[in-house]
């Protein structure tokens, strides 16, 4: 089973701070890297899917980068807002196998 690691496990930032967190995955047989946002008491929602080395995706204040050769992806949040508070999950797979999820980074943005 693929091993997908996320760090840090949790993060507390002040409103307006920019922040980033990391997802590590095996670089061999890489197929895709996904980021999801998961608010408390809700279901995970997809943010980005990236497949190519060097891919960068952006949605509002949130962006992500992908390095498939070294097996990592960064998620950046610019100017964090309280509504950004959530758990951010990354997931990866190889070939035609189901996604394997990391344990997530829990972000708390303090007003």
Partner 1 sequence: DAGITQSPRHKVTETGTPVTLRCHQTENHRYMYWYRQDPGHGLRLIHYSYGVKDTDKGEVSDGYSVSRSKTEDFLLTLESATSSQTSVYFCAISLAAQETQYFGPGTRLLVL
Q: Is 44 in the site for partner 1 (CB under 8 A)?
A: yes
Q: Is 110 in the site for partner 1 (CB under 8 A)?
A: no
For partner 1, which residue of 43, 70, 83, 111 counts as binding (CB under 8 A)?
Answer: 43
For partner 1, which residue of 21, 71, 88, 104 counts as binding (CB under 8 A)?
Answer: 104
**Encoding tokens for residue 19?**
């922040």
Q: Is 82 helix (H, G, I), strand (E, B) or coil?
A: helix
Q: Is 97 in the site for partner 1 (CB under 8 A)?
A: yes
Q: Which residue has the tokens 């590590």?
A: 24
Strands 86-94 and 100-101: antiparallel
Q: If we measure between CA atoms, which residue out of 69, 71, 82 comes closest to residue 109?
A: 82
Per the DSSP assignment, residues forming a β-bridge with 92 are 33, 100
Rank residues 17 and 94 by Cβ distance to partner 1 and give the closer one. Answer: 94
* Residues found near partner 1 in the complex (CB under 8 A): 1, 31-32, 34, 43-46, 49, 51, 89, 91, 93, 96-104
């Amino acid at each position: 089973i693929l091993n997908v690691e996320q760090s840090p496990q949790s993060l507390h930032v002040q409103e307006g701070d920019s922040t980033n967190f990391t997802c590590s995955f095996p670089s061999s047989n890489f197929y895709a890297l996904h980021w999801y946002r998961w608010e408390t008491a809700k279901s995970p929602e997809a943010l980005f899917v990236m497949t190519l080395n060097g891919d960068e995706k952006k949605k509002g204040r949130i962006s992500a980068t992908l390095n498939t050769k070294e097996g990592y992806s960064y998620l950046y949040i610019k100017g964090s807002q309280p509504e950004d508070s959530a758990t951010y999950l990354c997931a990866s797979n190889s070939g035609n196998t189901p996604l394997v999820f990391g344990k997530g980074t829990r972000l708390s943005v303090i007003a």
